[in-house]
Amino acid sequence: MALAHVHCIGMSVHRHMHNLVIPAILSTNPLLFSLCVRDVQVWYSPLMFNSACEKLAHGGKPQKLSKPGMIASALGTATAMPFFCLILSVAGCRSALEGALWGAAFGLFFDTGLNCSHSFFEERPFGLFLIHSGCHAVSLTVIGAILGQLCA
């Protein structure tokens, strides 16, 4: 009985995912770029954390966007969003609020936890770790809300 129940859940998740993956990628890539990518963003803008980030990461020297970096960012997002959709679908997310809560939890615990070891092992400044982790947590919260609404 339990195996049949799991199989049914898997089938409904698969059907639901099929309808959600393309809209998820198309909606979240531009959103992440507007939130996080330098020169077209909110988070790393001069009004928010650009100066602090440049000071902590590059000794205050302004950095230019690289085409390979932009492509890698877009591909990374396109790869991660179907997995995030799967998490929301398995969790039974049915609203923007639930999606936002899952996004915040995923950003604060999973993403921050994984990046913590890299940042401290590489001896990056703690402030830089907080800036990047904050960007990811806010981004995943907003994206979770969007995907949660698409799940509804």
Q: Which domain holds residue 31?
A: 25-57+69-151
Instruction: Return all residues near 145 (Cβ < 8 A) that are at least 6 apart.
Output: 96, 97, 99, 100, 103
Task: Tell me which of 94 and 151 has the higher pLDDT.
Answer: 94
CA distance 94 to 92: 6
Write the pLDDT tens digit of every residue in 58-88. 676 776 767 787 788 778 877 888 888 888 8
Task: Tell me which of 103 and 78 has the higher pLDDT.
Answer: 103
CA distance 60 to 73: 23
Whether 54 contacts 45, CB under 8 Å: no
Write the pLDDT tens digit of every residue in 36-48. 555 556 777 777 7
Instruction: Return all residues near 42 (Cβ < 8 A) that are at least 6 apart.
Output: 34, 35, 48
**Residue 120 domain-assigned?**
yes
- Domains: count for the chain: 1
**Residue 16 domain-assigned?**
no
**Residue 10 domain-assigned?**
no
**So what's the pLDDT on residue 8?**
34
**Residue 134 domain-assigned?**
yes
CA distance 33 to 147: 17
Write the pLDDT tens digit of every residue in 105-114. 999 999 999 8
Predicted TM-score of the model (pTM): 0.74
**Residue 83 domain-assigned?**
yes
